[in-house]
Amino acid sequence: MKKSAKKSATQPTQVQATAAASTSQEKHEIRPGQSLELLKELHILTRDGKLNQDSRRKLKQVYHLYQFIEPLLQQLQEERSDISLVDHGAGKSYLGFILYDLFFKAGQAQSKAHIYGIETRDELVKRSTELAQRLDFPGMSFLNLSVAEATRSTQLPEQIDIVTALHACDTATDDAIEFALKKKARFMVLVPCCQAEVAAELRKHKGDAVRNNPLSEMWRHPIHTREFGSQITNVLRCLQLEAHGYQVRVTELVGWEHSMKNELIIAEYKGKPVRRAAERLAEVLKTTGLDHMNRRFFVADGTANSENVTA
Ligand SMILES: C[S@@+](CC[C@H](N)C(=O)[O-])C[C@H]1O[C@@H](n2cnc3c(N)ncnc32)[C@H](O)[C@@H]1O
């Protein structure tokens, strides 16, 4: 009895050990200078300042994505300070707020940088607008628009530097690409959500594609058609971006292991449309019976035969 009392006095209990580990982990997860008020408002921290276990995953995901976006912002910042970023399908704007807090806040007095959140749910737009005011983040605004409406809206500048779309639903990623092309965005950072449109078209136009084509096996089981539709959508998006002069990197957004949709597409404008990408895009559409979708995956007029293209 005496022995065990001595042991508990000199060695940490399980509870103490867990508490110590969780405190050091929390320190690691909360970065220097980061607004605790913001993290509480996003429900990442509880009111008494502890990490909310349910939201911790979201924070890790956004930090992970931040690692990819920060170098792009640094690259732009070397050239000018009035960087503009549009986040489509912003939801509660975790990404926009964390980007602003970690990257722009420190220099906000001198900075003309601006983050726009585009979101169709009015209550989320109102909430984010109020939160930005409360946190004194003047370089953030939120617009209750669809991505397609944002492309035509006069509330946004003519040119935008970075376009992000993080799990923007269904075809909102395609609309975000169209927006970014119109706004001559230097970078796009896209984590597509499930895209149902192509799978539906694949099913409808099955007959056009399956003749003499062993790939017709893709149509045998609906789950394969759906997943194939999702994959081929991202293939078409990448070809479309290359055809418009973007260099494309596709990677897995590791750390998103709980999410089914963890493909990350990063595109940087290099100025030279790639003719071969435009040709391949047309061939893929034809082979899969989707040639009528050339409006969705449009390329610039004449990409296939212009002088100003890379072969
Ligand atoms: C799955 S949530 C992702 C939210 C946020 N990007 C994130 O990762 O936490 C998708 C959001 O996109 C919004 N949304 C869907 N379609 C949209 C569209 N066409 N234009 C603008 N917002 C859209 C939805 O209302 C929803 O808030």
For every residue of 244-288, DSSP letters joined together read TTEEEEEEE-TT-TT-S--EEEEEEE-S--BHHHHHHHHHHHHHT
Q: Which amino acids bring their CB within 6 angstroms of ligand 1?
A: 88-91, 94, 118-121, 124, 146-147, 166-169, 172, 175
Contact yes or no for 119/149 (Cβ under 8 A):
no
Contact yes or no for 213/276 (Cβ under 8 A):
no
List the residue whose alpha carbon is closest to atom 13 of ligand 1: 89
Average pLDDT over residues 102-128: 91
Please report which helix (H) or strand (E) contains residue 166, including its range.
Answer: strand 162-166
Say whether pLDDT at 278 is over 70.
yes
Q: What is the pLDDT of residue 261?
A: 79
Domains of the chain: 31-193 (3.40.50.150), 195-244+272-311 (no CATH)
SS3 content of the chain, % helix, strand, coil (to 5): 50, 15, 35
Average pLDDT over residues 214-226: 89
CA of 261 to the centre of ligand 1 (A): 14
CA 206 centroid distance within chain: 31
Say whether pLDDT at 41 is over 70.
yes
Say whether pLDDT at 65 is over 50.
yes
Average pLDDT over residues 77-97: 94
For 249, phi then psi, to 5°, come to: -120, 135
- What does the pLDDT look like over 284-302, one tens digit per residue? 999 888 999 999 999 987 6
Q: What is the pLDDT of residue 27?
A: 47
> Which token pair is 2?
């005496």
On the CB side of 26, CA atoms within 13 Å amount to: 17
Say whether pLDDT at 24 is over 60.
no
CA of 196 to the centre of ligand 1 (A): 15
Atom of ligand 1 nearest to the CA of 166: 6
Percent of the chain with pLDDT over 70: 84
Average pLDDT over residues 250-260: 73
Say whether pLDDT at 209 is over 80.
no
